[in-house]
Structure 1
Amino acid sequence: MKTLLDRCNPLFLSDYSFRDIYLLATATEDEEHTTDGTIKGMQGWIDCFEKARLAGTVFARNVDNAGEIQGHPGLGEAYEMGKNIQ
C-alpha cells in the first residue's frame, strides 16, 4: 500500500479524475479488527483528495498461501461490488 500511496502523491496537485476508491485486500488473520489499520491508512490518503471517497472495501480473511483465495467468499463480494460501479 505504501508504494501505491507514494506513487499517487504527484496526483495531489493535478486535476485528478478519480472519485470512488475501492480497497481490495487479503489478510492471514481472521479477527474482525485486523483491517482497521489498513482502512485508516487508506482513508488518511484519500482525505487529501477532496473529490475522492472510499466507496467500498472487501477483505478476504484467512488467506495466507498461494491458491487459498480460490473459492473464498471475498471474491464474490468483490464481484458484486464491481457490478455496481458506474
Structure 2
Amino acid sequence: MTTHTTHGTSTLYWVFFAVLIGMTIWMFMQQSRNQKNRQKLQNSLQKGDQVVTVGGLIGTVASIDDKVVVLKIADDVKIKVLKTGIGGKYQDA
C-alpha cells in the first residue's frame, strides 16, 4: 500500500497554514494597539484623576513624575505606583 498526498489534503494544509498566519498577525496587531492605548493613558494622567491599578487598587492621582505616580487611596494614605502599573481611569458605576 502506498501513501501519497492528494490535492485536497494539500490544499487543506495550506488553508490551515494561512489561517494560522492570519491569526498570529491579528494577535500582534491587537497587542500593539493595546500597548499604544496604555502608553497614551499613562501620558495623559493628571493630578486628581481617579485610576485603577492593574492589581485592582483604586485611588486618586496626587502627583506624577516620569516613572512613578503617587496615589491617594484613603485619608492620609498615599502609595507610590509605577506608571506601568496603572490599568485605566476609574469611573464609579
Pair member with larger Rg: 2
Higher strand fraction (1 or 2): 2
Give yes or no for TM over 0.5.
no
**TM-score normalized by the length of structure 1:** 0.23
Q: TM-score if structure 2 supplies the norm length?
A: 0.22
Q: More relative contact order in 1 or in 2 (CA 8 Å, sep 6+)? A: 1
